């Protein structure tokens, strides 16, 4: 494999290309008009324009991507995550064109792409499932009856869903019918499929996922777990590896269950099996048939490059290690830096990045796809970068992450950094008792307003002016009106 096209954008495209360069593989970037000057375009050996900024006119045009790949003599296509990464038809079109799709087979995607299909596939493999329906629900009265039998609260979920879309928590029976209607409508708009099912809602649970790798020889390994319980709108913001609450025995059982899930669909490449964990019990949720946003924390604790292994497996190589060879080394934390306003329900806050500086240091990694003075596009996910920190233990990792957050310099957009700082300092995070309801139970915007004065720049200027006055009096100088400017007298800056 000598040339790989990365069918994605932003930080994940750049991250994949860096591994390709390390492996001596040429890269081809794809881009929209909005991303003409993006870092991933500048880094690639070649780049091809797909179309206007909207993703349905650029990054989602699978036929065009395949056509451009053929024209440029590409050997493989890596889809990253999001966009076409879990689109079985795209994967099939790539392979039919004689190009290697760097990911699982279309058949594995189809099995695990439906949450109900995934449940059906694993039920004979001794994998525990959350109590709920095994099929999509269409009749409202039947759905009500099932919800009552499961017991409220329940969770309505889109079968084809992801990212929290088509999902509703229903606390009481009186709310059920309206929630079902809304979940269906949202699922149709997001996925073109209104199928929904019902599960028991485990409100005090943790979200723990297992990274797996499978080769084309039938070998599957688990690369331990990631704790991903801190979420807003059912989407993750802070992740860590390993989990602070799993015993060695539970870790082994969850890992082996994840391997069984992967074998149920003959999985190849890197994938993630998601579980709900509650007081020693765990239940299968779904499988993500792609690389995860939070994959770097697994790389930090295992020393493995997951993208490298995706490529090696795609070109037919067997896994060179067995389960007993794998060890957990220290602790890693990832915080996602979104251009969002935590004070305004985490709504996107795009604009021009007037200043952008990343933290640096031993054990600190930043995956990003932005640059200073860049206009943040409104058409895509608002994530600016990911901060990943490794420490010898969890406490050290938390302390290093907090220090790194302070070293970020971002102006021009609100970000989630203040929120992430709040999380890492919270007692429930420190003692690892937090659950997926952390935001609902512990976070209110006023908490950030109290910790960061809105007039911080004015206060800094006032302090500087006072220091200058004091210095001038100490020197016995007589200040003239035209010398009061902070730009002329820099003492105290």
Q: Which of the 8 DSSP states describes residue 220?
A: E
Angle between helices 306-314 and 295-302 (to 10 degrees): 90
273 contacts 262 by C-beta, under 8 angstroms: yes
For residue 442, give the 3-state DSSP assignment: helix
Q: Which of 309, 283, 282 is nearest to 298 (CA)?
A: 309
276 contacts 206 by C-beta, under 8 angstroms: yes
346 contacts 443 by C-beta, under 8 angstroms: no
The 3-state secondary structure of 391-416, one letter per residue: ECCHHHHHHHHHHHHHHCEEECCCCC
The C-alpha atoms of residue 285 and residue 275 are separated, in whole angstroms, by 5
227 contacts 324 by C-beta, under 8 angstroms: no
Q: Which of 108, 116, 53, 117 is nearest to 85 (CA)?
A: 108
50-64 residues labelled b (16+ CB within 10 A) or e (exposed): bbebbbeebbbbbeb
Q: Are strands 76-78 and 3-6 parallel, antiparallel or unpaired?
A: parallel
The C-alpha atoms of residue 331 and residue 243 are separated, in whole angstroms, by 9
Active site residues: 290
């Amino acid at each position: 494999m000598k040339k790989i096209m990365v069918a994605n954008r932003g930080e994940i495209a750049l991250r994949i290309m860096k591994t390709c360069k390390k492996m001596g593989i040429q890269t081809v970037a794809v881009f929209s008009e909005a991303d003409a000057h993006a870092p991933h375009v500048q880094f690639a050996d070649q780049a091809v324009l797909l179309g206007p900024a909207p993703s349905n006119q650029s990054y989602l045009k699978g036929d065009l991507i395949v056509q451009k790949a053929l024209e440029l003599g590409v050997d493989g296509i890596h889809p990253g995550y999001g966009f076409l990464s879990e689109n079985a038809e795209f994967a099939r079109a790539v392979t039919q064109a004689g190009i290697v799709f760097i990911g699982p087979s279309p058949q594995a995607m189809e099995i695990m792409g439906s949450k109900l299909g995934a449940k059906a596939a694993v039920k004979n493999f001794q994998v525990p499932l959350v109590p709920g329906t095994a099929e999509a629900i269409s009749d409202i009265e039947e759905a009500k009856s099932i919800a009552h039998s499961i017991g409220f609260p329940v969770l309505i979920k889109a079968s084809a869903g992801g990212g929290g879309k088509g999902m509703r928590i229903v606390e009481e029976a009186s709310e059920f019918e309206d929630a079902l209607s809304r979940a269906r409508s949202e699922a149709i708009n997001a996925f073109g499929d209104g199928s929904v099912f019902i599960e028991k809602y485990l409100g005090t649970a943790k979200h723990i996922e297992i990274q797996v790798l499978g080769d084309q020889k039938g070998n599957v390994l688990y690369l331990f777990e990631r704790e991903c319980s801190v979420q807003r709108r059912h989407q993750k913001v802070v992740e860590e590896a390993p989990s602070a609450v799993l015993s060695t025995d539970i870790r082994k059982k969850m890992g082996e269950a994840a391997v069984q899930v992967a074998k149920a669909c003959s999985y190849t490449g890197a994938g993630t099996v998601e579980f709900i964990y509650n007081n020693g019990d765990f239940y299968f949720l779904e499988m993500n048939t792609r690389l995860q946003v939070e994959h770097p924390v697994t790389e930090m604790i295992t020393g493995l490059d997951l993208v490298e292994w995706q490529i090696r497996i795609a070109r037919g190589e067997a896994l060179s290690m067995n389960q007993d060879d794998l060890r957990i080394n220290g602790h890693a934390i990832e915080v996602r830096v979104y251009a969002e306003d935590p004070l305004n329900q985490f709504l996107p806050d795009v604009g021009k990045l007037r200043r952008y500086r990343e933290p640096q240091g031993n054990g600190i990694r930043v995956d990003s796809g932005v640059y200073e003075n860049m206009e943040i596009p409104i058409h895509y996910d608002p994530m600016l970068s990911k901060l990943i920190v490794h420490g010898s233990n969890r406490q050290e990792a938390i302390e290093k992450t907090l220090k790194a957050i302070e070293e970020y310099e971002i102006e021009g957009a609100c970000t989630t950094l203040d929120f992430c700082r709040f999380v890492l300092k919270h007692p429930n995070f420190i003692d690892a008792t937090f659950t997926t309801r952390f935001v609902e139970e512990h976070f209110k915007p006023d908490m950030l307003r109290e910790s960061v004065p809105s007039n911080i720049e004015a206060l800094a200027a006032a302090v500087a002016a006072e220091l200058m006055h004091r210095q001038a009096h100490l020197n016995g100088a007589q200040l003239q009106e035209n010398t009061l400017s902070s730009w002329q007298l820099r003492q105290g800056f």
